[in-house]
């Protein structure tokens, strides 16, 4: 009898251990955590490690260089000057948010064919970035669609080298970016506006509030967090523009952005360490701007007045 009890006890304890593991929340979040660490934090850790070395990406050995790559990023005009190109996209992102907010507010009310207009506004965001680049490449090329359209309406003398003139090329590219990403902001704003209870609008109308009063005292406070999120996305997006300038100009004519510069540094000039330092700097700038934005506009309980 004693020997049978001794044999059963380990099996019972093993069963309890299995049930304890199955009831632990870590058992269910572990797969997601493993994927997150493997495909996000480990690559970021490798990038930071590479940034302190001189490496061409092929050699089996890396030469430690300390902070030399970071010093070069901040002191070599070739690298820090491309940050100024981001200002074009940064300014354009404000126009993008304003356009998206305007149409989201208008189409949130009763408007004829509003579903059609919603589809038209969101359609550009569904297109692949490469396809958008080629479409606007044909639009802006000399004697292309835009020049033909201007000539047809009697404005042929205003045709320009839309992608060849350094003073205009970045404006053309920023305009392309606005056309593509306005739909994303539009959907975010529209979803947030439609989540506001309709009874609030009805009460406001009974009190004599017009559309402007409803926008100022109901819509803006109600979608404040989405507006804040849109600004974070706009700032990080303007600093990390890549597809459109890379496809349409390849970074020529003064259109090279910081990410295009980092890409060419890594894969054309085989300076993986320096490109990693540029990526780390970009990451820190985005985190810093996000932190400042969160300090200036913290999340608060939304109250509709």
Residue 118 in contact with residue 107, Cβ under 8 Å? yes
How much is the pLDDT for 18?
Answer: 73
Record the pTM: 0.77
41-60+76-296 folds as: MetI-like fold (1.10.3720)
Which residue from 262, 274, 249, 257 is spatially nearest to 84, judged by alpha carbons? 257
How much is the pLDDT for 6?
Answer: 61
Flag residues of the chain having pLDDT under 70.
1-9, 297-305
pLDDT digits (tens, 9 = 90+) for 259-277: 898 898 998 888 999 999 9
Instruction: Write out the two tokens for 192.
Output: 């947030």
Residue 63's beta-bridge partner residues? 54
The domain locations on the chain are 41-60+76-296
Which residue from 74, 98, 110, 5 is spatially nearest to 282, judged by alpha carbons? 74
How many CB atoms within 10 Å of residue 208? 7
Helices (H), the chain: 2-23, 25-36, 42-50, 68-75, 77-80, 86-108, 114-126, 129-140, 145-152, 166-194, 198-206, 211-214, 220-222, 224-239, 243-248, 258-267, 272-296
Which residues, in sequence order, are CB contacts of 24 under 8 Å at separation 6+?
none
pLDDT digits (tens, 9 = 90+) for 190-245: 999 988 888 888 888 888 888 888 888 888 888 888 888 888 888 888 888 888 88
Residue 200 in contact with residue 218, Cβ under 8 Å? yes
Query: How far apart are alpha carbons 274 and 284 in whole angstroms?
Result: 15
């Amino acid at each position: 009898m004693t020997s049978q009890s001794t044999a059963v006890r380990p099996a019972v304890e093993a069963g309890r251990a299995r049930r304890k593991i199955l009831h632990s929340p870590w058992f269910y979040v572990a797969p997601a955590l493993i994927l997150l660490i493997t495909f996000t934090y480990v690559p970021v850790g490798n990038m930071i490690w590479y940034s302190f070395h001189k490496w061409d990406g092929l050699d089996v050995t890396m030469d430690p260089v300390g902070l030399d790559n970071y010093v070069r990023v901040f002191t070599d005009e070739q690298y820090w000057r491309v940050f100024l190109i981001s200002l074009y996209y940064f300014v354009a992102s404000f126009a993008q948010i304003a356009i998206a907010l305007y149409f989201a507010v208008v189409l949130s009310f009763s408007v004829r064919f509003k579903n059609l207009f919603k589809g038209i506004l969101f359609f550009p965001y569904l297109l692949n970035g490469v396809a958008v680049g080629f479409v606007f490449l044909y639009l802006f090329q000399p004697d292309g669609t835009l020049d033909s359209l201007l000539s047809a309406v009697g404005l042929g003398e205003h045709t320009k080298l839309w992608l060849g003139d350094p003073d205009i090329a970045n404006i053309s590219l920023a305009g392309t970016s606005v056309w593509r990403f306005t739909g994303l902001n539009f959907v975010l704003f529209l979803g947030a506006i439609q989540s506001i209870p309709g009874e609030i609008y009805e009460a406001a109308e009974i009190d004599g509030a017009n559309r402007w009063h409803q926008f100022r005292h109901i819509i803006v406070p109600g979608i404040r967090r989405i507006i804040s999120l849109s600004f974070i996305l706009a700032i990080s997006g303007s600093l990390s523009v890549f597809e459109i300038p890379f496809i349409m100009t390849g970074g020529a004519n003064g259109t090279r952005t910081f990410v295009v510069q980092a890409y060419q540094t890594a894969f054309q000039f085989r300076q993986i360490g320096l490109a990693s330092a540029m990526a780390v700097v970009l990451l820190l700038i985005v985190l810093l701007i996000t932190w400042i934005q969160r300090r200036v506009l913290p999340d608060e309980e939304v109250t509709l007045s």
